[in-house]
Amino acid sequence: MNAFEKLLAEFDNELTFVFDKNIPDKLPGLICDKTIYLNKDLPFDKAICVLSEEIGHYKTSTPKDITDYKENGKEERKARNWGYKKLVPIEKLKNFFVKKESVMPYELAEEFGITEEFAEEAVQMYKIKGELD
């Protein structure tokens, strides 16, 4: 079972997952009640990042219109941070850094099966929280 399938299985009893090619490209995923909708045409590395963020909304947010980013920026940040922690646990990240003299974003992306952007944002989140130098 790959990481995406494991994440789906972990929440299979709590959430419903719908994969639909009709979701707009600018909205690769969303959660409505206890159903997560994902664009089925997303590449694997992007899909797992979107899935983790949507599950993050379920785990950290109160039900509301999350598309109103100005009003709900904190909710969005909490969901993303949950996703970063889920897919890039701090201990695994630190262990990866110890093995290398320097690390490029593409190496993190490959190691954790995520996008480079997600990898960079996860590292930045840990730095801001003081968990990583």
pLDDT in tens, 49-96: 999 999 999 999 866 555 565 667 788 899 999 999 999 999 999 999
pLDDT at 70: 62
- Write down how long the chain is: 133
pLDDT at 125: 97
- Residues in contact with 46: Cβ distance below 8 Å, sequence separation at least 6, in sequence order: 28, 115
- Residues in contact with 17: Cβ distance below 8 Å, sequence separation at least 6, in sequence order: 8, 35, 36, 38, 51
pLDDT at 101: 81
In the chain, DSSP finds a helix count (H) and a strand count (E) of 6, 3
Is residue 111 left, alpha or beta, with left meaning phi > 0 and alpha meaning psi from -120 to 50?
Answer: alpha
Categorize the per-residue pLDDT at 1 as very low, low, confident or very high, splitting at 50, 70 and 90.
Answer: confident
* Mean residue pLDDT across the chain: 91
pLDDT at 126: 97
Model pLDDT for residues 86-106, shown as the tens digit of each residue: 999 999 999 999 988 888 999
Is residue 43 left, alpha or beta, with left meaning phi > 0 and alpha meaning psi from -120 to 50?
Answer: beta
Instruction: Please indicate, yes or no, whether the overall pTM of this predicted structure exceeds 0.85.
Output: yes
> From CA 7, how far away is CA 107, in angstroms rounded?
22
CB 78 within 8 A of CB 61: yes
